[in-house]
Structure 1
Amino acid sequence: MEQCRASFRLSLHRQEKEGRLVSLYIPAYQGRVTVSLNGVFLATSDWEQSETDSWSTSPLLVPLPDPLLQPGTNDLRILLTSSGAKFGFLGRVAVGPDVLLRADYDRRTFLFSTLPRLIDGWEIAMGVGMLIMWIARPRERIFLLVGAMLLSQALTSLPAILGDVLGERILLLANHARFVSTSLILPLACLFVGRRPPVPIRVFLLLPAAVAASLTTLPLEIHQWLLFGIFTPIGVLNVLAAALVLSWAAFKDRNGEALPLLGAFLLTLILATHDLMNLLSGVNDVGIPLSRFAAPLLLTTFSAVFMWRFAVTMNMLDRFNSRLKREVAATEEALLRSFERERIPARAATLEAERVRLMSDLHDGIAGQLVSTLALCELREVGPAEVAGTVGAALADLRLIVASLDDYGEDLGVMLALFRERIEQQVAAHGVELVWRTGTLPDLKGLHPGAALAIFRILQEAATNALRHSGSAELRFEAAPSPVAGRGVRQRLGDRGRGGAADRPGSHGMGNMRRRADGLGATLTILSDASGTTVTLDLPARLPPAAPSPTAFLAEVR
């Protein structure tokens, strides 16, 4: 790669040793600087920055060793070397007491070396944060563009951070990474104001791709001509177009967020134009590339706007949450009032249904028993024992009705235990032994008082028939999970009597048992032969809900 050299000679006259440190101060330069005193090498700018870091303006302070300073004239030489697509530049230099020069050196070192590194860290952190936001919300392409711009801008600092470790070609490519951010300015401005970019975003990446291809494949002279004659003007036009989009949004669409960005873009354009003119002319009295400060300015503006948007969004969410809480509270209150209005007639309907059921049970059971008792009392030839038996049957039926009103939940075992307590006295009074076997029973879904009474009456009727007609000395009861598919519990009541159980004229016992089993959705099986009679009741896994008909029952009573 072709190099340009320029040698500067300074004559430093010293009368006698002063006893204080004297230094050479170079505030601004571009390229590689080598300093020698009286033919002795002192320092090189490679110690401070890479030669490929054409955008860095770190100052150089070279102490002049006292043993090398001779009384009289001293020869101080500065060799400036430049190569690649940049011009060499050496600003004003100063030689004097180190204590006087170091204050300005420290100030410029902070501004042009330390501060840019801090900004690079800020750009990297924000760039990674924007990419994470884009990964979380891939439809928000503005986060992808901002992240790519910030990271590409930070990439240009590789020469200043790593020096010449990676090689000159790679560092030059890193220097040209700023064309990525330049090319993405226009689509970023369009997305920021809610407009579609004029062409797909990948088309804008052709500019940095062309710059990289030119740097790596073409001769240096052709690359320099393309860089300053085509690529850079295209980048400037891109910034101008972005400024135009923001101007239209700020003034035509009254977009307040576009105003600070428009100012930042215009200032960036001014700084870039200033540096471009300096590069093309090759003359610069200051030697400071002002566009170095454009990225921090743009970054700060974008950060402020995004933070403002975030704050506005959070305020909107807070207001929305407050309104939503009020609406939810009002809706809950309205629902509670509505439920309360619906609960009152529902409660009344439930009470009415239970009243009608009890009336029906009393009418079917106790009322008939009392009528029979009254008829027996009117017949003078009937003895007290028969009347007492009829009254006892009515009392047993009343006890069944009362027992059915208990809350058994879905536990059939508790209900059967209560039935056993009721039936044991009756069985013992007839001199019959009760054999009771129950295993672990599954829950009986939908068990309600009406269903409990129906089960009680089926079992009561089967037990009464066995005690009256079988002549058996033993009554067996078993309850276990039903082996029939779709059934829940099987109950079986049997004897070892004479059998012969069948429907008889004028008797409704077995018919009532079947009717009650059908109402439960259960299967009733009666087997009777010479070995005895067995009544089997297979209950469903879920009982049907109670659905009494008050109107039909009252009509029947009337």
Structure 2
Amino acid sequence: MTDLAHHALPNRTAPNWWRSLGAALVVQAAFWLVLYPILYRATDRPETLAIEAPEVARLSSASLQDLAAATFEPVTLPHTECCEPGYRAFRFAVTLDDVPEQGLDLVPLISNDNLMTVVNGTVLRLDGRMDWDHLTYHGNNRSITQVPAGMLRPGANTFVLVAVRKFVPYIDMNPPLVGEHVLLRPILSKRAYMLGPYQDQSIAVGVVCAVLALLLLFRTDQRRFALWVFLLVLSWTLRNLYYRWVDPPYDGTTRVFLYFVLTSFLPVAWLNLANEWTPKPWPGVHRVSVLLMTLATLAFAWLLYGIGPAGYDPSGVISDTLGLTLGALAMLRLVVHLAREADPRYWEAALFGLILVLMAIEFYQQWRFDRSTGHLQMSLPFLLVAFVAAFIGRNIRLFRSMNEINQLLREQLTARENELAAQYARQGELLRRETLLDERRRVMGEMHDGIGGQLLSLLHASRHQALAPEALHDGLSEVVDELRLVIDSLDAVGSSINVAIGNFRQRMTPRLKAAGITLRYRNDLINEPTHLGPREVLHVCRIVQEAVTNALKHAHCDEIELTVAPSDDGSQLEIVVRDNGRGLDHTAGLGHGQDNMRRRAAAVGAVLTVDAAYPDRAAPGTAVRLCLPMQADPAAPVSG
């Protein structure tokens, strides 16, 4: 059994105020002068593009059809939508003189349970689901979204942020940050780290602390102190996990209820930990605090389950009041103890005091200004420092008696870790080389079979003057389009159907317009197929390119319609290219082209059909329809 040192303090005649004060000043100075500027202090607001014509509309669902039919009303930012949950569309415009080569960065700054980003009528980003009955909560995992250059255009660009709230009756809208990717991303890099990897690291630290606290609980005679250490670390870790768990197995009401319970339990745990850390705990503190927590939990249940969204604000008042009161009592308990008794645990007291100060600041900000500093949630790693300091500072005979065994185990473990690290390094290098060779072979095959053959044919025809200048120009344009498709397949956004077809549309529109052909484009795709990589997307784009090129060359049409939409049951992605030209009977030379399209369709597990677009007309036109499964068939072979 271990023996906690604070229950066997040495006798002293007077408190050593200077050491206690010095330790507290050192810890506070280290945090506020060193760690705070690095981790928490906000950077200067970056130079961003102007947000024009902000408007808000209410939607019945997060579909593009409802968005197109919505009635928008102008608003002044910042703006708060109150007081009913539901869907809101926040629309604004950004004007570009020229499209940046690497696109834009977007930081929405809108409170939500989940968010869909639409740029110029095309869905750019949707994490998870926005269906009311199957909602995922990706809104808590805020991140920076890159808008590819292919989705932008010179002049006015329309952005729409479709937000959903399942229970919370407020949607706060602040001016979003929009700027050039190369200028904005370096400035916001710390924000991206704090909102993503740092949160996951905090959860990992919390899990380690909870395991250590649980071990301490079963090894010490002072069970009550160890219990509150464990409950504090566990509740703090669960609160951090709450924000990162995007698809919990309960409804929105329960989710908000758990938020208030976890948030309110933290000050209860802090008060009891501070009380039990002292040599002479105040009697009855744990009973009264647990009773208050129980009453608060019952109040949350009645307000949230009984009243509904209207009970959100009263629940917040109860949680903030309880937190502020118990946090102040925890600080008072430490101050009273240090003022009355000499305590040799200066650094532990200083570390506990720092975290309590952060907790008090957090609840004061929530109560006074209705906003969070984020310091409390982000300070979880400091709890590990305090816990390790308390753990090492104790006289634990178990560790001292097993030093030789631990040293031997450490040496064996280090040797094994070195062997595994070397093995993983070799495997990683082999995998990297194999990946590079596969990608090189793929690109060389694309260049040889497609672009290389076309260039050789054009070179031969040019030498023998077998092609007119206009035909030679058209052939070279097709080669450039092929090269751009290959380059797109190497890009980070090469596995996105929306982005790839958007880039293709941007390239083809000027050529069609010059030929007197109008391109009508409609894209209703929100959730893209989950199994398509850059190679498969390249196949799809080449099928679309072949269909549009055939219509341009042979159909004698003045209108081409390109439609991208899911099927009625959502199991298929349908891409249709229609023209109003002469139709299949008058189209020559398409046999080889159709064979190529069907071969590419088979490579991605799709079905290609070619029919008359308008059978009842004199000029029936041609419709090329590609039906692609939204999910991979487990029994289907992987395309090579």
What is the TM-score with the length of structure 1 in the denominator? 0.48
Q: Which has the larger radius of gyration?
A: 1
What is the TM-score with the length of structure 2 in the denominator? 0.43
Q: Which structure is higher in RCO with an 8 Å CA cutoff and minimum separation 6?
A: 2
